[in-house]
């Protein structure tokens, strides 16, 4: 049956600006960049070495129309350091970091209002 989640989709308003944000602010790598139509391309990014990629699709086209909390959670080893680095790069941290019974938690928002969770073990 299924072996992994390959690609998830996030809607963006400008693929070039989104690529710059995800690569230069979040530290992701560009995985794929192929033309899809006259107005859009298949643009994938991912944390270095990750199996699951994020496709940055144009909102209203392959990116859908959803904004707000994506439901996607990125795992880190050190949430405090990660949040400090993201803030220094101009990323909006919308929540935390806090320590919860199930781990450490924070959230950030990208340029298009897509919100992601950040999780780390509570050791």
> What pTM did the predictor assign?
0.90
The reply to whether 60 and 16 lie within a common domain is yes
Same domain, residue pair 51 and 39: yes
For residues 88-111, average pLDDT: 96
Q: Measured between alpha carbons, how far is residue 47 from residues 1, 52, 65, 75, 87 in Å?
A: 25, 9, 24, 10, 18
CATH number of the domain to which 39 belongs: 3.10.180.10
Task: Indicate if 89 and 104 belong to the same structural domain.
Answer: yes
What is the tally of structural domains in the chain? 2
* Whether residue 117 sits in one domain with residue 94: yes
Output the pLDDT for position 62. 83
* Shared-domain flag, residues 60 and 1: yes
């Amino acid at each position: 049956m299924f072996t992994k989640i390959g690609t998830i989709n996030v809607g963006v308003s400008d693929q070039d600006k989104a690529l710059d944000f995800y690569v230069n602010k979040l530290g992701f790598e560009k995985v794929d960049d192929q033309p899809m139509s006259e107005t859009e391309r298949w643009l994938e990014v991912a944390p270095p070495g990750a199996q699951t990629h994020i496709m940055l699709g144009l909102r209203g086209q392959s990116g859908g129309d959803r904004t707000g909390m994506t439901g996607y959670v990125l795992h880190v080893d050190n949430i405090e350091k990660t949040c400090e680095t993201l803030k220094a790069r101009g990323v909006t941290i919308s929540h935390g970091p806090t320590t919860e019974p199930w781990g450490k938690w924070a959230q950030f928002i990208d340029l298009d209002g897509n919100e992601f969770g950040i999780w780390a073990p509570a050791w």
